[in-house]
Structure 1
Amino acid sequence: MTVRPDPTFHASPKLAMEAPAETLAFTLMLSPDGSQPDGLAVIDVDSSSSDYGKIVHQVIMPNKGDEFHHFGWNACSSALSPLTGHAFLERRYLIIPGIRSSRIYVVDVKNPLKAKIHKIIEPEEVFAKTGYSRPHTIHCGPEGIYVSTLGGGGKDGTDGPPGIFIMDCETFDIIGRWEMDRGVQDKHYDFWWNLPRDYMVSSEWGLPPQFENGIVAEDLLSNKYGHSIHFWDLRGRKNVQTIDLGANHQMALEIRPAHDPVKEYGFCGVVVDTTNLEGAIFTWWREKDGTFNAKKTITIPPVAADPDDLPDLLKGFSAVPPLVTDIDLSLDDKYLYVACWGTGEMHQYDVSDPMKPVLAGKVEIGGIVAKTKHPNGKDFGYGPQMVEISRDGKRVYWTNSLYSTWDDQFYPGEGGAAMVKADVGANGGLTLDKNFWVEFPKGYRSHQIRLEGGDCSTDSFCYPSV
């Protein structure tokens, strides 16, 4: 604990945008076949450094078979909430769950070049204290660390619905389940909130048998994956409204609320519309009477393709769906980035009017059929996947692995880990940096990225921008 708030905590998004630029990034490395332990790579992202784009430190775990996926900080700008007693925490630890093992690692990155494991929480403790499994998304909240899960109890994770549990942000002890009344919510994926407005939004993917061994085509075509978003009373810990986006809108994944808490809207990405293979973005918002609405505001069409060029899963469609697998929103709430993992594209939309997004930029790299190379001439395996934006909005980073078994279905053969960076133009637009290309150790794939000092999908703010 410090004697004054961590300088990387910011009251408003605008103040966060004015903070010093990141010089390091933290990226998860996973062993898709479980033959090696997973790890955390510390990457130099300072363009003036001789180590630019290089891994300068690694933390390799002592166990195999974790499958690292998402992770987050022990504390962030939400600690400045007027309701918190934790304003003097440090942004010091990364909380890294194994989506397959249900094991959780706490890594001390106070000295990033000497980052080390601080604590390991074994899966038995997660099961015993929460009844949940497959921990997924980490968010630092005002009163603790929130962890969403993808599985309930039992061997296959279907004994009861998944949900959220809370960890102590200083001892990292698991406290218990968050929900008091979940209503109709029976699947889980992402969540985020508007702290001053006192509500949370969550989304749905599928239950463990629907994703662990790859996508289940029969379930997808019969619309059995998640397609609803849920709205919660944050302090009351109860579901107050559920909006079904339509059963054809399969896999409602990332939730991205506006960063300025005065604004009561946000976005949700949908992987695929089973009626036409489109990807979609929904804008959700709160009415003055407190009820919520959602409307589809972006559609991204599939691309026709020769069945001979497609994996078995897609041959019958003669097309490549965009597969919207991640989205991220810049801190000024102006640009929404949409990863089209199937077609190999990163889209940038101007969402200054959240009900009328406008395509402002696009980068093509990778893709099931396109296989577009990086400007440095190297092959980019798979397609753009986990995306992260610098606080000032000038740099966009992304990796390429979705989930090991899904990688293998949509992109047969080993594509390898990749991480790239694009620069944002003064008036929008994206240009890949030909000098930024991270070489990961052989046998690994790369997933989520966190930036030194916070980024656009970790911090939530308690005060309006001025």
Structure 2
Amino acid sequence: MSTPTVDPTFYRSPAEAIAAPPETLAYVVTFDRAAEQPDALAVIGTDPDAEGYGRVVGWADLPTRGDELHHFGWNACSSAFAHAGHHTDGLQRRYLLLPGLRSSNIHVYDTHPDPAQPRLVRTIDADELAARAGYSRPHTLHCGPDGIYLSCLGAAEGDGGPGGIAVLDHDTFEVVRAWETDRGPQRLAYDAWWHLNQNTLITSEWGTPSMIEDGLVPELLLGQEYGHALHFWDLAEGRHVQRVDLGSEHQMVLELRPSHDPGATWGFAGVVVSTADLSASVWRWFRDGAEWKAEKVITIPAEPAETEQLPPALQPFGAVPPLVTDINLSVDDRFLYVSCWGTGELKQYDVSDPAHPRETGSVRLGGIVDRAPHPSAPDRPLAGGPQMVEVSRDGRRIYLTNSLYGAWDDQFYPDGVGAWLAKLTTDPQRGGLAVDRDFFPHGEDFRGRRAHQVRLQGGDASSDSYCYAGG
């Protein structure tokens, strides 16, 4: 009998992932806000010793237009070790699933046999998602213990909720069902992630499609109607267990980053803005006995600005909010990265003590007011700001894209957001951030599209869940 082969990029523990060879390619989803061109999957060279370093080395157009690619991910990852025998029967980290946030289509690309030239192999259309799971507007996906978990902002009919999670088959990519069996008070959706060994799934809240698709709605924000809670679920049963309200002034609870330690029971959630003072914040959730709790551990204040420096949406406030739109936790759980898309800053925090983060680094690129340039082009002001942030498995490289969401880009950067991808480096022990001057795909490198999210070949800090603590 032949010995089953396990994909070498399925790492049993965080330590194994950290010790693995570095990525040589990055995949970036790009979109055309005007829907005149198809959205596309760009492939970027990340090997400093290769000829294509920091350049687009592969490109795949979607067959449709107007999808607005947003978040995307691998069909399988290190969570395969939680599958009952599934990781031994040919499952591979091979396919990238690209959900269209506006179209509700999901395009599946095969990265074999040539990782730099992905090939479209399947499209799951909006009708299948609606008919089999009852959802629309797919947003974030994670490879999970019994399928691919796809969080969706809206219900199948109308423009409201409830949003929730659709489960897709690992092998066929067919939509199987809605994951929830008892959703309790949950209505708004955004991210979903878990503590696999604790049988706990966590979800966060943004808004229904009508609340977000035309930009930030001031009346909804000031009325505190966007999401402001975390939800904790029984992972095996799809049953709601507990809602933790962060306070209605803390609007838009977005990215979730649980500890990579499979034995831990804590993680971080980012909050976009406070209606009290325009600050942004990061919260730590943790288990206390039989209950889950959350506490604010980072507050980032708004920065004063002259009225004429601000877009119309912010002029009444006389300040630019940080707008924390993404966070990322290094695989060793040592550093947390916080994107301040409004002020154009990426912050690095030492979270060795997760209850007491300590800032250890900062870089400015773009920003509503500063328009801080990249060091390779000091005379070219940048629009947009650090938005989606991805960290390499070994924690040494950080990748940033600058576009948030088409309508929100236009609202906060009305003179144009452009397109760029930057790379930072850090010391995974001491921290600190430096911009790589030789890595800066931008502008027409992306063929008139905006750049949104990055995934790294072989996995990254926000695509894997681990089942074993040891090396």
Which TM-score band applies after superposition, normalised by the shorter structure?
Answer: over 0.9
Find the residue that maps to 1:37 and give its secondary structure: coil
Q: Percent identity?
A: 50
Is 1:434 the equivalent of 2:429? no
Matched-pair contact (CA < 8 Å) for 2:74–2:142 = yes
Of the three residues 457, 460, 464, the one matched with 2:462 is 457
Quote the residue 1:252 is aligned against. 253
Of the three residues 383, 386, 391, the one matched with 2:385 is 383
Find the residue that maps to 1:272 and give its secondary structure: strand
Is 1:443 the equivalent of 2:445? no
Which residues of 2 match residues 299-318 of structure 1 at below 5 A? Answer: 299-318=299-318
Task: Report the Cα offset of residue 226 of structure 1.
Answer: 0.2
Quote the residue 1:24 is aligned against. 25
Instruction: Determine the C-alpha separation between the residues in 1 that align with 2:110 and 2:437.
Output: 32
Query: What do residues 155-195 of structure 1 show as CA deviations (whole Å, max 9, x unaligned)?
Result: 42x1x401001111101111010000010000000011011
Task: Report the Cα offset of residue 197 of structure 1.
Answer: 1.0
Query: What do residues 257-315 of structure 1 show as CA deviations (whole Å, max 9, x unaligned)?
Result: 0001111100000000110111100000012x331010000000110000111000000
Quote the residue 1:363 is aligned against. 363
Instruction: Determine the C-alpha separation between the residues in 2 that align with 1:465 and 1:277.
Output: 42
Task: Report the Cα offset of residue 84 of structure 1.
Answer: 4.8
The amino acid across from 2:95 in the alignment is: Y
Is 1:374 the equivalent of 2:374? yes
Instruction: Determine the C-alpha separation between the residues in 1 that align with 2:25 and 2:240.
Output: 38
TM-score by length of structure 1 reads 0.97
Quote the residue 2:293 is aligned against. 293
Quote the residue 1:115 is aligned against. 118
Find the residue that maps to 1:254 and give its secondary structure: strand
Instruction: Determine the C-alpha separation between the residues in 1 that align with 2:209 and 2:189.
Output: 11
Of the three residues 125, 136, 140, the one matched with 1:137 is 140
Instruction: Determine the C-alpha separation between the residues in 1 that align with 2:302 and 2:341.
Output: 12
Instruction: Determine the C-alpha separation between the residues in 2 that align with 1:239 and 1:85.
Output: 27
Which residues of 2 match residues 111-260 of structure 1 at below 5 A? Answer: 111-156=114-159, 158=160, 160-260=161-261
Structure 2 gaps, min length 5: none
Matched-pair contact (CA < 8 Å) for 1:101–1:123 = yes
Quote the residue 2:326 is aligned against. 326
Matched-pair contact (CA < 8 Å) for 1:385–1:399 = yes
Matched-pair contact (CA < 8 Å) for 1:229–1:244 = yes
Matched-pair contact (CA < 8 Å) for 2:28–2:451 = yes
Instruction: Determine the C-alpha separation between the residues in 2 that align with 1:238 and 1:322.
Output: 35
Instruction: Determine the C-alpha separation between the residues in 2 that align with 1:430 and 1:49.
Output: 23
> Kindly tell me: are residues 284 and 353 of structure 1, through their superposed partners in 2, closer, same or farther at Cα, counting changes over 3 Å?
same
Task: Report the Cα offset of residue 456 of structure 1.
Answer: 0.5
Instruction: Determine the C-alpha separation between the residues in 1 that align with 2:395 and 2:131.
Output: 42
Instruction: Determine the C-alpha separation between the residues in 1 that align with 2:34 and 2:11.
Output: 40
Task: Report the Cα offset of residue 442 of structure 1.
Answer: 3.4
Task: Report the Cα offset of residue 82 of structure 1.
Answer: 5.8
Find the residue that maps to 2:62 and give its secondary structure: strand
Which residues of 2 match residues 67-106 of structure 1 at below 5 A? Answer: 67-81=68-82, 83-87=84-88, 88-106=90-108
Find the residue that maps to 1:240 and give its secondary structure: strand
Instruction: Determine the C-alpha separation between the residues in 2 that align with 1:411 and 1:307.
Output: 14
Structure 1 gaps, min length 5: none
Moved more, 80-89 or 349-358: 80-89
Query: What do residues 195-251 of structure 1 show as CA deviations (whole Å, max 9, x unaligned)?
Result: 111101110000111100111111001100000000001002111000000000000
Find the residue that maps to 2:63 and give its secondary structure: strand
Query: What do residues 314-356 of structure 1 show as CA deviations (whole Å, max 9, x unaligned)?
Result: 0011000000000000000010000000000000000000000
Task: Report the Cα offset of residue 3 of structure 1.
Answer: 3.5
The amino acid across from 2:271 in the alignment is: V
Matched-pair contact (CA < 8 Å) for 1:416–1:442 = no
Task: Report the Cα offset of residue 443 of structure 1.
Answer: 2.0
The amino acid across from 1:336 in the alignment is: L
The amino acid across from 1:272 in the alignment is: V
> Kindly tell me: are residues 71 and 55 of structure 1, through their superposed partners in 2, closer, same or farther at Cα, counting changes over 3 Å?
same
Instruction: Determine the C-alpha separation between the residues in 1 that align with 2:212 and 2:36.
Output: 20
> Kindly tell me: are residues 274 and 465 of structure 1, through their superposed partners in 2, closer, same or farther at Cα, counting changes over 3 Å?
farther
Find the residue that maps to 2:368 and give its secondary structure: coil
Matched-pair contact (CA < 8 Å) for 2:197–2:467 = yes
TM-score by length of structure 2 reads 0.96
Instruction: Determine the C-alpha separation between the residues in 2 that align with 1:396 and 1:178.
Output: 33
Over aligned residues, Cα RMSD in angstroms?
1.1
Quote the residue 1:353 is aligned against. 353
The amino acid across from 2:245 in the alignment is: D
Find the residue that maps to 1:360 and give its secondary structure: strand
Query: What do residues 14-61 of structure 1 show as CA deviations (whole Å, max 9, x unaligned)?
Result: 110000000000000101111110000010011111211001010101
Task: Report the Cα offset of residue 416 of structure 1.
Answer: 1.4
> Kindly tell me: are residues 274 and 126 of structure 1, through their superposed partners in 2, closer, same or farther at Cα, counting changes over 3 Å?
same
Instruction: Determine the C-alpha separation between the residues in 2 that align with 1:82 and 1:255.
Output: 22
Instruction: Determine the C-alpha separation between the residues in 2 that align with 1:423 and 1:372.
Output: 18
Q: Which runs of 4+ in 1 moved over 3 A?
A: none
Of the three residues 394, 402, 409, the one matched with 2:411 is 409
Instruction: Determine the C-alpha separation between the residues in 2 that align with 1:226 and 1:238.
Output: 20
Matched-pair contact (CA < 8 Å) for 2:278–2:321 = yes
Instruction: Determine the C-alpha separation between the residues in 2 that align with 1:352 and 1:107.
Output: 37
Size of the alignment, in residue pairs?
Answer: 462
The amino acid across from 1:387 in the alignment is: V
